[in-house]
Amino acid sequence: MTNKVTIVGSINVDRILQIDQLPQSGETIRMQDFSIAAGGKGANQAVAAARSGAQTSFIGAVGQDLDGQMMLNKLRDNQVNTNAIEVMNSSATGQAYILLQATGQNSIIISAGANADVSADQVKANQALIIQADFVMAQFETPLAATIQAFEIAQANRTITILNPAPATAALSEELLQLTDIIVPNETEAANLTGIEITNETSMRAAADKFFALGVKVVIITLGSRGVFMARAGFDKIIPAVTVTAVDTTAAGDTFIGSLASELHADFSNLEAAIVYANRASALTVQKLGAFPSIPTRAEVVASI
């Protein structure tokens, strides 16, 4: 059965600056190479879900500019339904400036642009996309009010909510977490939201318990090269990562979440298997440069197993 996934999220054009290492204060360095790619956490997750076979729709915004048209075309090329993406006259399309080091690690600077214009009213006007979905996903690159509206609609209609609390923030919205079924932070994001430093399995369980107390049903903490910590009430486990040589970690987490949503059953009965699949997809992503260009198809993920 094909999962239906709706994303409320961000759309960015990634400008990738390849450098040996980050500059020190006051230092001028040379750039080794420069490239432009489609990206944005929401858009990456949508493409990951679609390439893994999910019927995918998107609620978001772009500017009335060449970047916006490019992003709409890229999403459509990946069979993402873009009917609920608004084109804003007064805002430019979101931008991400990615400082990609030779190690494959990156630092990212974001200009929200039209992403900041995504509103609760826009979500409500497109609520049919949420009501008919199996999963609705959101991140922190669009306004909180829009995400809360989406999750309220989802909860009222038995659509599973998935929250990727990124970029990291120290603001804990209990209202949003009470509407969240699955939360997928990395270690830093989990620590920022719970106040618990993630150092070992004991601290991961403590963070998960804090999320459970607010109504979250499933906690998935991504641990980079160490794998993924998954927890449901009364059960937790670390699922190892796939060992590969990273070229560019951009979109690795987004690929994990999008492919997870394409694979997961609504009753969570195949949670561990879905995480293993998502781990495989993420491992393929880090072996290529860029966001959209690196996200694998279902066939590629299955072939890697």
Would the annotation count 247 as a binding residue? no
Name the CATH superfamily, with its identifier, for domain 4-304: Ribokinase (3.40.1190.20)
pLDDT at 83: 98
Would the annotation count 3 as a binding residue? no
Cβ-count burial of 153 within 10 angstroms (0-12 exposed, 13-18 middle, 19+ buried)?
buried
Active site residue 121: no
pLDDT at 270: 96
Would the annotation count 225 as a binding residue? yes
pLDDT at 246: 83
pLDDT at 304: 87
Would the annotation count 12 as a binding residue? yes
pLDDT at 225: 83
Residue 304, Cβ neighbours under 10 Å: how many? 13
For the entire predicted model, the pTM comes to: 0.93
| Options 117, 134, 254, 267, the catalytic residue | 254
pLDDT at 233: 84
pLDDT at 259: 97
Domain range summary for the chain, segments of one domain joined by + = 4-304
* Ordered strands of the 12-18 beta sheet: 33-39, 12-18, 94-100, 106-111
User: What are the 10-residue block averages of pLDDT along the chain, 305 residues in total?
Assistant: 96 93 94 92 97 98 97 98 97 94 88 98 98 97 96 98 89 89 95 93 95 96 92 92 83 94 96 96 88 91 88
